Amino acid sequence: HSKVDYVSNIDRGGRFRDRNPDPHSAFWHSDGSWAKTPPKATLLYADQAPKSGGETRFIDTFSLYDRLPPRLQKQLRGLYAIHDLELSRAYRRRQWPCQRRPGKSISESLLLNLSWLAAQHHRLRSTGFVYHRIVRPHPETGRRAIFLGDHAWAVKSRFLPFGVYRMIRLKRAIYSRALQYTHIWRPGDLLVWDNRCVLHRAGNAGVGSHARVLRRCVVLGQ
């Protein structure tokens, strides 16, 4: 892909920002999973890196699948997830109506907000749903991996609130099972990973007055 993005804690005026420039990256995700054909790989190069903080964390989703109970593996193999960038970011900003009803359970809140979910369903029907199998064989090796992440916001279901509720419970139950790696950046580091079998997220973004400048590029296609 010809486009190179910069991920930096330095603004255009040259001032340091002691916060993550993309707060949504702090949650497990696969780059571009909301696209019908997500990028198969990501490259991240460190121009400048802080002495501490600003790390990137990774989950191996081969091991995530392998460590699930056989019964759950079989159940997930028949399921699809709905991926959508707008809805996942609204959820992280606590903009879903079900997040504004304190004292209610997840299921009760979702049921109370059917009209809002119906509007989202209508929007997605007009733009086109993006479905991906929750368990996907790797196209080159055939090994099964979990394909979820923050942009996966509902399990495909005839009753949408149930699909949302099921996805929330599923993510809470499985992420802790996977093998994880934390990369501490040093200037000149180049990481390349396979988005088809890896989830990642930003770690501690608080780097104070230390520069963190990364260059990012994705490889298109599956």
| Residue 18 to residue 215: CA distance in whole angstroms | 19
Confidence of residue 11 (pLDDT cuts 50, 70, 90): confident
**Residue 88 pLDDT grade (very low, low, confident, very high; cuts 50, 70, 90):** confident
At a CB cut-off of 8 Å and minimum separation 6, what does 81 contact?
131, 132, 133, 134, 147, 148, 152, 153, 154, 155, 156, 167
Residue written as token pair 């790989």: 41
Query: What local confidence, expressed as pLDDT, does residue 157 receive?
Result: 85
Per-residue pLDDT at 188: 96
2: pLDDT strictly greater than 60 = no
- Residue 131 vs residue 91, higher pLDDT: 131
Is residue 183 within 8 A of residue 191, CB to CB? The reply is yes
| DSSP 8-state assignment for residue 124 | H
Which strands sit side by side in the sheet containing 41-48, from one edge to the other?
5-8, 213-219, 41-48, 190-194
> pLDDT digits over 92-118, tens only?
766 666 655 555 565 666 666 666 777
Q: Is the pLDDT of residue 221 over 90?
A: no
Per-residue pLDDT tens for 24-59?
A: 788 899 999 999 999 999 999 999 988 888 899 999
Domain 5-13+20-219 fold: Double-stranded beta-helix (3.60.130)
To 10 degrees, the CA torsion angle through 208, 211, 212, 214?
Answer: 160
CA distances to 86, 99, 158, 193 from 216, in Å: 22, 33, 38, 12
pLDDT in tens, 130-181: 999 999 999 999 999 999 999 998 899 877 778 888 898 898 888 888 899 9
Residue 125, pLDDT > 80, answer no
Measured CA to CA, the distance from residue 46 to residue 24 in angstroms comes to 20
Which has more pLDDT, 1 or 114? 114
The DSSP-derived string for 145-178 is EE---TTEEEE--SSHHHHHHHHHHHHHHHGGGS
Query: Please, what sign has the CA dihedral across residues 43, 139, 39, 165?
Result: negative
